[in-house]
Amino acid sequence: MLKYVLKRLFWMVPLLIGISLISFLIMHLAPGDITTTEAGFNPKASEESRQKLREMYNLDKPLLVQYGLWLERMSTLDFGHSFASHQRPVFWQKTDDKGNVTPGLIQEALPITLLINVLSLGLIIIVALPLGIIAALTQNRLPDRSITLFVFIGFAIPGFWLALLLMYWTGVVNDWLPISGLHSLGFENMSWWGQLLDSIKHLLLPVFISALSGLAGIALFVRNGMLEVLHQDFVTTARAKGLPEGKVIFRHALRNALLPLITLLGLAIPGLIGGSVIAESIFAIPGMGKLFYDAVLMRDFPVIMGILTIGSALTLLGNLLADLAYAWADPRVRRGVMQ
């Protein structure tokens, strides 16, 4: 097992190098850099400091040399500093000579996006599992038909549009929920209970919106998986030996139907991270999507590279975890992995 994990981790290195190479080349497709874009041009920055920036990131050198230098820095996990005027570290906080700590951009944004994604993953599982099971057990009857209809609409509905309508309905017409941001004004002075309530109110819509399409997908997946399993011999055997129906469904059928779900959840990670861009920009949430969107508009190369690299690394780790979880849950796969 350990050997398998190590092998997989080792394989991630060339994959990540490939990913970063593609990202790097794409970023430099169009001419221009931070010093030529209007948004990134800081009037306070002198020609000298801009030259320093150019030198620091070697923007005057050939592309492949630049990439080599980036790789060299990455080998010590140094993601560099943002090109923006605040020059904050891209990834993790840094302490200067005087002991002032500057927090990293990704360090601040990643937990927010992860929190939303974990919550929506939880929501997906809590809602989609029962829906899928009910649909499978009532195949072709009314509950199944309505759930299938919901699935098709959930797939087709543009999340940002639903977000807009819900924002309008709950925030503008009815004043039930705050329309944007993560915290209300005066968040620091609230009791922990008030802070929790405030956070829940702010997170409700973003979590629901980012869960919606995944919810539809997983419900359909569980339904189809259950139907497939319910027609297999071991389920017939379980019924034939007189097990109560509940035990047949939850002990025998469901467990087997859920196995492929583990892989599916692993594959869903890049979509969840990428999908955060629109939701975060609508609800003004300072997560990875917002950070990336702003960085892209400013051609803030170190931040873009940092986010693409970390996002991809998280994806690869997620896939590895999914495969391990699958092996843990299914002895047949485990035996295959060992060999």
Smaller CB separation from another protein, 158 or 244:
158
Q: Which stretch binds another protein (CB under 8 A): 62-70, 82-90, 159-167, 248-256?
A: 159-167
Task: Give the pair of three-digit tokens for residue 153.
Answer: 């609409």
Cα separation, 314 vs 19, in Å, equals 13
Degrees to nearest 5, angle at CA 33 with 31 and 39: 115
The answer to the question of residue 286 lying near another protein (CB under 8 A) is no
Which listed residue (2, 142, 156, 185) binds another protein by CB under 8 A? Answer: 156
Closer to another protein at the Cβ: 260 or 274?
A: 274
Tokens for 331? 């002895």
Binding string, residues 265-284; x marks residues near another protein by CB under 8 A: -----xx-xxx-xx--xx--
Query: How many Å apart are CA 27 and CA 105, to the nearest integer?
Result: 19
CB of 164 to another protein, least distance (A): 5
Residues that contact another protein, how many (by CB under 8 A): 52
> 267 near 326, Cβ under 8 Å?
no
172 interacts with another protein by CB under 8 A: yes
222-241 positions binding another protein, by CB under 8 A: 223-224, 227-228
Annotate each residue in 288-307 with x if it binds another protein (CB under 8 A) or - if it does not, as one string: ----xx--xx-x----x--x
Q: Nearer Cβ to another protein, position 87 or 224? A: 224
Q: How far apart are CA 179 and CA 39, in angstroms?
A: 27
C-alpha closest to that of 69 among 134, 20, 132, 12: 20
Closest separation in Å from C-beta 165 to another protein? 7
| Sequence letter at residue 105 | L
Site string for another protein, 100-139 (x = CB under 8 A): ---------------------------------------x
**Which residues 49-78 are close enough to bind another protein by CB under 8 A?**
none
For another protein, give the closer residue by CB, 31 or 331. Answer: 31
Nearer to another protein, 243 or 264 (CB): 264
Cβ 331 to another protein shortest distance, Å? 26
Applying CB under 8 A, which part among 23-31, 61-69, 195-203, 245-253 lies near another protein?
23-31
9 interacts with another protein by CB under 8 A: no
Residues forming the site for another protein (CB under 8 A): 14-15, 18-19, 22-23, 26-27, 29-30, 139, 148, 152-153, 155-158, 160-162, 164-165, 167-168, 172, 223-224, 227-228, 270-271, 273-275, 277-278, 281-282, 292-293, 296-297, 299, 304, 307-308, 311-312, 315-316, 319
